[in-house]
């Protein structure tokens, strides 16, 4: 038994924040942001929108695309670093929205790698017969932990959600998932506070994303190169057999480096970073949905998904769509 993606959907909040607007907020330029990151605009959730709101819209679109209803869902896993509340988790909040009750519902907290971690877990449940219709989501409202006075981070991040429905299949499907993490790098990309570690008087860091961007960049490029090599080797694949690279949308230059490693022309690489910015766990399913809906990715294509984020964490998935 295998699992396959039976449906996909995504959602972006309506409000668009352009580089031109950011020029009025911090000391930056459209030219700097475009040349260093590839980003031109990003979507930002309204004040009354939470991660669950974004996830719900993406999930409804994925269910519609798969031809299933909420009553068919028997497993919910959400990759997110920006849950609405500490608990209940976003999966439980979604259950309530869909008025379905009883199935496992949880979230995984691996920053930008959240969706691929979630996909990997759901795949194992479907393959082992533990789930027949799994809802897998990556959803974030990173704008809520972005310091809008810090030009080094606020130009990068955006909000959004993407979702897939996984169902059993006789043929793969999800061919393989490869996950990794290295906590030695915890201080290159982090939010200093949470629940058991709270901000104290005198603490200099704010409750926002802290990033040593240049150092993150270097480790990301090296790790992603190793990850794609590992994914190809473990599947005895030649790099030219991949039809589409669907990378984490952090930075055009990081994506180009991975594409070069795969000897892939950029027109075979799905790029949404220009319009979405870095939406963390939502980035890969948002990119995948974009290319499915505009007709580039077709059923039967061989896809390589990859991601890298805070922790550090990373993950890839080889998929026959």
Question: Mask 156-185, x = binds ligand ACO (CB under 6 A)?
Answer: ------------------------------
Contact of 246 with 284, CB cutoff 8 Å: yes
Binder of ligand ACO out of 249, 280, 316, 317 (CB under 6 A) = 280
Contact of 21 with 192, CB cutoff 8 Å: no
154 has catalytic annotation: no
Residue with Cβ nearer ligand ACO (65 or 113): 113
CB of 251 to ligand ACO, least distance (A): 4
Q: Return d(Cα 250, Cα 112) in angstroms, integer.
A: 9
Residue with Cβ nearer ligand ACO (120 or 279): 279
Contact of 259 with 269, CB cutoff 8 Å: yes
Q: Which residues contact 180 (CB under 8 A, 6 or more apart)?
A: 223, 227, 313, 314, 315
Of 299, 285, 279, 315, residue with least CA distance to 81: 279
Binder of ligand ACO out of 50, 107, 120, 251 (CB under 6 A) = 251
Residue 237, Ramachandran bin (φ over 0: left; ψ between -120 and 50: alpha; else beta): beta
Q: Token pair of 213, please?
A: 């961007």
CB of 270 to ligand ACO, least distance (A): 17
Using DSSP's 3-state secondary structure scheme, residue 187 falls into: helix
Decide: is 111 part of the binding site for ligand ACO (CB under 6 A).
yes
Binder of ligand ACO out of 53, 310, 318, 321 (CB under 6 A) = 310
**What is the contact surface with ligand ACO in residues (CB under 6 A)?**
28, 32-33, 36-37, 111-112, 151-152, 155, 189, 213-214, 216-217, 220, 250-251, 254, 278, 280, 309-310
């Amino acid at each position: 038994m295998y699992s396959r993606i039976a449906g996909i959907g995504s959602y972006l909040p309506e409000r668009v924040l352009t580089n031109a607007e950011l020029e009025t907020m911090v000391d930056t330029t459209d030219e700097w942001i475009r040349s260093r990151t590839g980003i031109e605009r990003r979507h930002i959730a309204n004040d009354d929108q939470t991660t669950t709101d974004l996830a719900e819209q993406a999930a409804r679109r994925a269910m519609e695309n798969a031809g299933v209803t909420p009553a068919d869902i028997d497993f919910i896993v959400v990759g997110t670093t920006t849950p609405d509340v500490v608990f209940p988790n976003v999966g439980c909040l979604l259950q309530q929205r869909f008025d379905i009750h009883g199935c496992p519902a949880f979230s995984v907290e691996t920053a930008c790698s959240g969706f691929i971690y979630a996909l990997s877990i759901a795949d194992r449940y479907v393959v082992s017969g533990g789930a027949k219709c799994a809802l897998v989501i990556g959803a974030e409202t990173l704008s809520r932990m972005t310091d809008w006075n810090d030009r080094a981070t606020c130009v990068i991040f955006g909000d959004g959600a993407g979702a897939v429905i996984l169902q059993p299949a006789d043929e793969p499907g999800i061919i393989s998932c490869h996950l990794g993490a290295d906590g030695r790098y915890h201080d290159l990309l982090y939010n200093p506070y949470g629940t058991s570690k709270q901000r104290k008087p005198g603490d200099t860091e704010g409750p926002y994303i802290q990033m040593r961007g240049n150092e993150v960049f270097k480790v990301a490029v090296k790790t992603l190169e190793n990850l794609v090599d590992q994914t190809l080797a473990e599947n005895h694949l030649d790099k030219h057999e991949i039809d589409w690279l669907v990378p984490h949308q952090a930075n055009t230059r990081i994506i180009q480096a991975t594409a070069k490693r795969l000897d892939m022309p950029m027109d075979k690489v799905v790029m949404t970073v220009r319009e979405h910015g870095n939406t963390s766990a939502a980035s890969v399913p948002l990119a995948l949905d974009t290319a499915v809906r505009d007709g580039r990715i077709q059923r039967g294509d061989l896809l390589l998904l990859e991601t890298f984020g805070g922790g550090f964490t990373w993950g890839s998935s080889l998929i026959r769509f």
